[in-house]
Each structure stands twice: as C-alpha cells, then as structure tokens.
A and B are shown apart, each in its own frame.
Chain A
Amino acid sequence: MLLQMEKITKLYGDVAANAGVDFTLEEGEVHALVGENGAGKTTLMRILYGEETPTSGTIRLRGKELVLRSPEDAIRAGIGMVHQHFMLFPSFTVAENIVIGREPRSGILFDRKKAAEEAARLSAEYGMPVDPHRRIADCPVGIQQRVEILKVLYQGADIIILDEPSAVLTPPEVKELLAAIRGLARRGKSFILITHKLQEVMDVSDRITVLRDGRVVATVRAADTNVDELSRLMVGRELVPLEKRPARPGDPVLEVEGLTVRGGRGKAKPLLDGVTFTVRAGEIVGVAGVSGNGQTELVEAIAGLRRIDAGRIRLCGRDVTGADARDLRRHGLAHIPEDRYRWGSAKEESVADNAAMGHTDSAKRSGFLLRGRLRRMAEAWIAGFKIKAESPAVKAGSLSGGNLQKLIAARELAHGSPLVIAAEPTRGVDIGAMEIIHAGLLKRRDEGGAILLVSSELTEILKLSDRILVLYEGRIAGEFRADEATEEAIGRLMAGVTDHAEHAVSAGRAGRSDGADLAASRG
C-alpha cells in the first residue's frame, strides 16, 4: 500500500469536516473521491497536501508515518496537487512555470536554457506535448492544465491530487486529460481525483470513495458500480429521475436579433457578434459553450446589465432594446444570474431580505413593506426548495453555495415571469440542489414560461433543453433540436471545429492512441 490515511478527523469548532475518514491509495492507481459540496473532499486533500493539519488521525506513506506541516513537506514526500484554480504565472513561460520553486541554476543565476530543456524532456517522456517557450497567458486552458501536471511531475511527485480537473475543459480536452491520467498511472504514478462528474469517474478510476457529511459512505471498485449507484451513495437517498414531457412551444417571448457587443478598447473581436435567436413560451433553449465565449455578455445584455452596440431585443412583443434592468423585470424578465454573490444576492443581509428582493412591489401597502407576507413567502420557498437555513433571519452569506443558489432560483421562479434567464444555475452546486433547481425550471416551462438556460455544463444543457444553441467566440456556431443533439456534435462546435476543419481533428484523434487504449482497456 502506497498511502494510508487512517481515522482522519478535522474539526472546525464543533463542525467535523472529516470524521474518522480512512483512505488508501495503491501504486499506479486512480482513486476518485466523490461527494456533494461540503462532504469533506477538499478538506481531506488539503490535509494530505499539508495545507491543513488534521485534528487527529495518521498518514502513512509506504508504511512510514508522515507529518505534513506545509505544502513544501508534501512536495518533498512526493505528493503534488493540481488546484481547481490553476496556480500558474500567466506572464511566465511554460518552462518557467514547470521549474519554479526548483529552478536549475548556475551560481545565483536562473538557467533558463536548462529549464526549457527539462520541460521539453519531461514533456517528451510523459507524452504531454507543450512548447516550453510559450507564455502561459497565450496557452489554451487544456495546455495550462498539462503544464500544471508536468510541474507536479517535475517536483518528483508520485501521488498527484487533481481537484475538479475537468471543470474548465472542453469535451475533447477532457478526453485528452483522462487519457493522460491513465497513461501516467500505467507508468506507476498514482492519482487522487476529486470531481463531481460521475461519468468521468467511471471512465478513468480504479476505485471510488464516496464521502458524505465528512464520513466515508463507501469505497468501491469502478468495475462493480455504476453512475446511478454512485449518485445514490452521494446523496444518501434515491434520486427521482427527471420527468420531462415534450415541450409545447407557444408564442415567441424573447426575440434577439443581430445582438452585438463590442470588446473593450483595442480589441478587434466583438464579444457578441450578430447573435439572433428566439425563445418561445413553454420551451427551454439551452446555450452551450465553453465559458468565455460570450455567454456572460449575452445574459447581461438581455438582462439590461450591459450596453448593446447593435441589434434589437424584443420581450413579449415589446421592443426593450436598451431598457434597464428594472424596466425589463417589470415587462416580464426573471434572472438567475451567473454569479450568485455579485448579482444574485446581498451576502451581508438576511435570507428574508434576499428573498424579498424584487418582490417588494407585491408586498407593500401605501408605501410600507408587509414584512409578515415577505417572511411567509421566504418560509414557503425554504420548505419547497429544501433550503438548509436555520431561520430566515440568518445572513445569506452564511448559507452554502447550493442553498443560496436554491434561494435565488426559488425567488426568481416565484415571479411567474414569462421569461426566465438561468445562467449557470447549478454551478458548483451538489446533486441534491441541482435536482431541485432543475425540477423548478422544468415546472416553470410546463406552466408556459420561456426559459433561456446558459450553461457550460453540457450534461445540464442536454438534460433540460428543448433546443440547443452553441456559442463560440461570440457567434452562434450551430443549433440542435434536443432529440438530434449528441454530446459529440455539440462538443465539436464548442471547441470551434467546423465541418471544414473536421478532417484535421480526426487526424489529431488518430494520433492520440491513448484515448483508444483507454476505451479498449475499460470497455
């Protein structure tokens, strides 16, 4: 056994983030760690990486007890971590990023030539191509992740912790990453993979440990389980499969025509370029795309939070181009914003006040707020959306991300507005909350609401949408009906592959034999 974490307990005050967790890792193994938000995955890994000290419990590496006081200790022991938010230096080159902290030197000088050689050597040895001289800022996210892994390898890690590694990747990049992980595992490197994407877990891991409320619920072999069982273990109950009736689209509610938002000064490329589409009553239109391709701008433009440079927007037949957020809301817009802290809530205020936002018009009498009515409204949502809040009086910021998101979704859906914009409605939210929010959106659709769903989560788009638009570099790259959409086809458009370039990609695919190996070995 390479690594044993025994009876790890970590207390924050009275709250146990980890309670007697046992976790083991073998050489060359890929061990996935799954669980809902707040289940204690990240805490456990921070302990292993020396960023937290456990309240009790021991860590053994190759049988010998290990005390980790800092990331440096962990790195020295051969444990490396790739954080969810990359720890790269954008203005430095790939080579500099790989060697930093253990730079090759001659005297006091930093030997950059040797660094580039080292980077090239590692890159070749592990079959992860990178250009050592390129600046990180100029590398796509997929390459950046490769650099992160090479950096950890350069540090001499045998155990590599990956925290939500696929969150920011396009589907082809994810495939490549999973292939790289398998390839490295075959060479004896061991991986701990934190993720909530269960299909990836099934594809790549040997064993899976499920955490819930800081405890290990189960450790299973991937071969002996399936996605359904895993989600059941994570949530602790049976998940109700989403019932989705076919949509019955009615009149157009949102009509967007030639919507253009130019980039900042000195940027030639517009952020949105002539975007045209319609959302009808009773349908969910999903906008897929890798984040940063204009989704944020699209939502903000429609919601009146950003100036439009060209194009028209009609809401319920009325021209609302250039209207402000207040007018738009009065004319039938509800908006679950992408950033729940920046736009969606006032963290320092109470849950009740946050719930009241936008509902004050319907709960006032001669200029006075009817607090009681607002409170009853909030309480109804707390019950209906199973929001875990001690009382409506606690600060909104004290709620977990998932619970706050449920509150915002409940608030926005309760308007019964003709149009609901749901931007990344379940980002960073656990399965339980996701289920509730999804059900809420579908219910609104069936009541005749038009819903514009913007999400970088392809599974979410496929699960909910009746029609799917793919946004790439500010343009609509393609449109699918839900029944004809496949993950493959959308993924290609998301990555900017047009039919024209198809050939190049299939040639590239053939070159990556690891992917095929992976499929064969696990099939």
Chain B
Amino acid sequence: MELLLDVSLYGSTLRMIAPILLAALGGVICARVGIFNVGLEGLMLTGAFAAITGNHLFGDVWLAVLFAVICSGLMSLILAWLTIGLNANMIVVGVALNFLASGLTTYCLSAIFHVKGSYYDPGMAGLPKWDIPLVGDIPGVGGILSGHSPLVYVAFVLAFVLQFFLFKTVKGFRLLAAGEHPEGARSLGIRIDRIRYWAVLASGVLCGLAGAQLSLGQVTQFTEGMTAGRGFIALVAVMLGQNHPLGVMLASLLFGFMDALSIRLQGYALPTQFTMALPYVMTLAAMFLFKDRAYLRQTGRID
C-alpha cells in the first residue's frame, strides 16, 4: 500500500478534482437559489467538446477555454429559460440537457472532425503546466502542489472566492435570500428571477472551465461521453458539502482521490471494472450517509 499512496497519486488527485470541483461550485450556486441542476454533466461535456473545437479553430489554448465557457454558458441559458422562464420541471430539463449535450457532441464530432468515438490531434497543444516557483521546491508536498494546469489552481481559488461572495457580500446575501424564501425575497423587491438566471449562467461558465480542464488539461483529446458521470459526482459533492463552497471542496477532494486511486489500482492487477466502479461506490456510500439531509427538499422548490 505504501507504493500505492505516493506523491504522484496525490498529484493526480488534484488534477482529477479540478473538473468535479468546478462543476460542483456551479451546482452550489444553483442549489443556493433553489435550483437542483442535474444538467452539470451535459454542460461539462459541452465545455469539453467546445474546448477541443476552439483549440482546433483558433489554434490558441486560451481562446479555446474562452470558447468552451461561452458554449456551455449558452447551453446553461437554455436550462435557465426552460426552468425559470417557462417553469418546466428542473429535473426533467436537466436530464434532457444531458441527452442533448451527449447527442450534439457526438454529432458535431463527426461533422467537424470526421471521426467517431474520439478525436486526438498530436499537434494540438494542451493547457500549460504551471510550476510554482517556491512551492515546487518544498520537499514532499512541492511535487503535489506544483506543475498543474492553471485551471486546477483556478478551481481552488474559486472555491474560496465563492465562499467569500456568498457569506460576506450583499449580493451573495441576496442570492441566499432568493433561495431560502423566494416569496419573501420578492416581497422585498429583490429580483429573484434575475438572480436565478445569473446563478444558472455561472454554473454554465464553471462547467465550461471544468470541461476545458477535462479535454485540454488532463489529456489533449475529446472522447464521446468523456465526462463519465463527473457532473453527477459533482452533484453528490454539492450534497456532501452541504452547499458550502469549502465543504464542497473537501468532498471533491475525496471524490478526486477515489478517481485517481481507481486509475492507480488498475496497475495492480485488479479488474478494471472494479476499480472504475470505485468512485461510484463511494458516491452511493455518501448518499446513504447523508440521506437525512433533506437536500432535495431544500432545493427543488422553485415556484
């Protein structure tokens, strides 16, 4: 087991966490305004595909990230319009959005790149790795913390920023109010629909970043359905972290670690199916432990 838990495992944990954490932060914002965003998965997939496409079109990795953010932002507006504007059931819309993203990316993959299954261009540059000058030299942890794509750092910084925004600023306070008691907030002249739109859009943007990290940060390729349930794991992380950005960060750390561990275990003659199931077993276990937390009751009450 000692061999198992070495520096590079922790390093890959951080890398694995980033997409889950980014999506989960989007989930937190939505949950806080009373929207149970089941569409995180689809939004992330959209982001992953758009990132590769952007890179292909513009030949610049940062423009690619921007393109991913814009595309999943637009996707999230569909979700916002249907659930907030038209009062459709948010779960149904979220599920539909996931199917839409899955179908759309598969279609576009063959339409744009003329390939099936996955697209990989050896000449395409991924996100750079940042070596953090001083941190990288610290013995032991230096190797873990340094040398990741910028989006990994962005994810962790955003968790703190979101925590600060929600609990320290006036705008954050009103966002919390809109989620806690929409009628009450409305009677005070707080424009709750506008807040809800912004929240869903923010989750779209964050999922765009998450997708970009998936397709440009870890590997530089797009595979059909490459999000592989990370959006749903992000939802569980939201639940496990009880809608607190920092709590969600810890929950994501746990899931990211499981993810990395499952990949590592494959090198130890364990059946792949077993190791791949590990994060999801963990997710189920987490659901059992927290089943009393009436997460769905708290959210899911948009009127």
Residues of A that sit less than 8 Å from B by CB: 70-72, 75, 81, 83, 85-92, 96, 100-101, 103, 105, 108-110, 265-266
Contacts and interface: CB of A to CB of B under 8 A. Distances in A.
Contacts of B184: 86-89
A97 B196 CA distance: 21
Interface of B: 168-174, 176-177, 180-181, 183-184, 186-190, 292
B177 A83 contact: no
A87 B172 contact: no
13 contacts: A81-B187, A87-B183, A87-B187, A87-B188, A89-B176, A89-B177, A89-B180, A90-B181, A100-B173, A101-B190, A108-B171, A109-B170, A265-B292
B272 to A, nearest CB: 40
Contacts of A105: 170
Given A75-B189, A100-B188, A101-B189, A110 B180 contact: no
Contacts of B169: 108-110
Nearest to B187: A87
Contacts of B189: 70-72, 75, 101
Given A71-B187, A72-B189, A109 B181 contact: no
Contacts of A96: 173
B180 A90 contact: yes
Contacts of A87: 181, 183-184, 187-188
Nearest to A70: B189
A108 B190 CA distance: 17
7 A-B pairs closest in CB distance? A72-B189, A87-B184, A101-B188, A110-B170, A89-B180, A110-B173, A87-B187
Contacts of B174: 100
Contact of A110 (B172, B183, B187, B190): B172
Contacts of A92: 176-177, 180
A96 B177 CA distance: 10
Contacts of A83: 187
A266 B190 contact: no
Contacts of A103: 170, 173
Contacts of B187: 71, 81, 83, 87
A273 to B, nearest CB: 24
Contact of A100 (B171, B177, B183): B177
Interface of A is mostly: loop
A5 B170 CA distance: 36
Contacts of A110: 168-170, 172-173
Contacts of A86: 184
A71 B188 contact: yes
Nearest to A72: B189
Contacts of B181: 87-90
A287 to B, nearest CB: 30
Given A71-B188, A87-B187, A103-B170, A266 B292 contact: yes
A108 B180 contact: no
A210 B245 CA distance: 53
Nearest to A50: B189
A89 B179 CA distance: 10
Contacts of A101: 188-190
A140 B101 CA distance: 49
Contacts of B180: 89-92
Contacts of A88: 181, 184
Contacts of B188: 71, 75, 87, 100-101
B182 to A, nearest CB: 10
Contacts of A108: 169-171
B253 to A, nearest CB: 26
Contacts of B172: 110
Nearest to B183: A87
B186 to A, nearest CB: 8
Given A101-B189, A110-B170, A266-B292, 13 more contacts: A71-B188, A75-B188, A85-B183, A87-B184, A87-B187, A90-B180, A92-B176, A92-B180, A96-B173, A100-B177, A101-B188, A108-B169, A108-B170
Contacts of A81: 187
Question: Most chain-A Cβ atoms within 10 A of its Cβ — which of B181, B183, B186, B190?
Answer: B181
Contact of A109 (B168, B176, B292): B168
Nearest to B180: A89
Contacts of B177: 89, 92, 100
Contacts of A266: 292
A83 B186 CA distance: 13
A268 to B, nearest CB: 15
Contacts of B173: 96, 100, 103, 110
B176 to A, nearest CB: 8
A227 to B, nearest CB: 32
A88 to B, nearest CB: 6
Contacts of B176: 89, 92
A91 B170 CA distance: 16
A92 B187 CA distance: 17
Contacts of B170: 103, 105, 108-110
Contacts of A75: 188-189
A210 to B, nearest CB: 27
Contacts of A100: 173-174, 177, 188, 190
A229 B129 CA distance: 84
Nearest to A111: B170
Nearest to B181: A89
A265 B294 CA distance: 13
A87 B190 CA distance: 13
A426 to B, nearest CB: 26
Nearest to A83: B187
B169 to A, nearest CB: 5
A100 B186 CA distance: 11
B291 to A, nearest CB: 11
A99 to B, nearest CB: 9
B28 to A, nearest CB: 16
A118 to B, nearest CB: 14
A75 B187 CA distance: 10
A108 B169 CA distance: 6
B111 to A, nearest CB: 44
